[in-house]
Amino acid sequence: MTMVQAAFGQQTLLKQATLVLAGSLFIAIAAQISVPMLPVPMTLQTLAILIVGLTFGARLGAVTLIAYLAEGAIGLPVFANANNGAAFFGPTAGFLVGFVGLAWLVGFAADRGLTKNVFLTALVCIVASALLYVPGIAWPMVVASAFGMDAGWVAQDFGAYYLAHFIAPFLIGDAVKAVIAALLVTGAYRALQTR
């Protein structure tokens, strides 16, 4: 049972639609918050996605992320730095699409009851966050050039470019956000059970 099911009981279509809208708004707001951190500042976008996936479950979490991407695609400034659908043609497009899988994966773990323990939840979040780099790197390395895109970030060397610019600067932030998500969600779940 996910936290949303425990908190709100039977999920009607209206409740689900409200949760999707609220979840996508939560992610959009978090995407605009930048926290100073070394070596690069981090937004709270993926933290919000982890929280949504863990609390909503796989299906509703993925639908929420699809709605979030659709909001950006129609021009709403919901992505980091108030970007919109133009981001689907930039270097981070693979990460944007991968957000659906990130929410689904942590939600799948929550649906199976694997996220009641803070350590296991943190591990689930860390693994899922690491897997986000697969579509994130596949886009600039392979997919963008297959679509005929020509930019300085397209089809570069993995180690020299993508590891240095797309992965290494974000690893610490991703680990921190995974632990924070685990602490928040497991703590809220415990509080919900004791009320």
Q: Which two tokens stand for residue 56?
A: 């909503």
What is residue 35's DSSP assignment? E
Q: Which two tokens stand for residue 79?
A: 């992505």
72's enclosing H/E stretch is: helix 58-73
Q: What pLDDT score was predicted for residue 19? A: 96
Instruction: Please determine, looking at this structure, whether the domain spanning 11-194 carries the CATH number 3.30.390.10.
Output: no
The phi, psi pair for 83, rounded to 5°, reads -75, 160
- pLDDT tens sequence for the chain (195 residues): 778 877 777 788 999 999 999 999 999 999 999 998 877 788 999 999 999 999 999 999 999 999 999 999 999 999 999 999 999 988 889 999 999 999 999 999 999 998 889 999 999 999 999 999 999 888 888 877 777 777 777 777 777 788 888 888 899 999 999 999 999 999 988 888 777
Q: What is the pLDDT of residues 32-72, one digit of tens each?
A: 999 988 777 889 999 999 999 999 999 999 999 999 999 99
In the chain, % of residues over pLDDT 70: 99
pTM of the predicted model, to two decimals? 0.92
User: What is the residue extent of each domain of the chain?
Assistant: 11-194
DSSP string, 92-110: THHHHHHHHHHHHHHHHHH
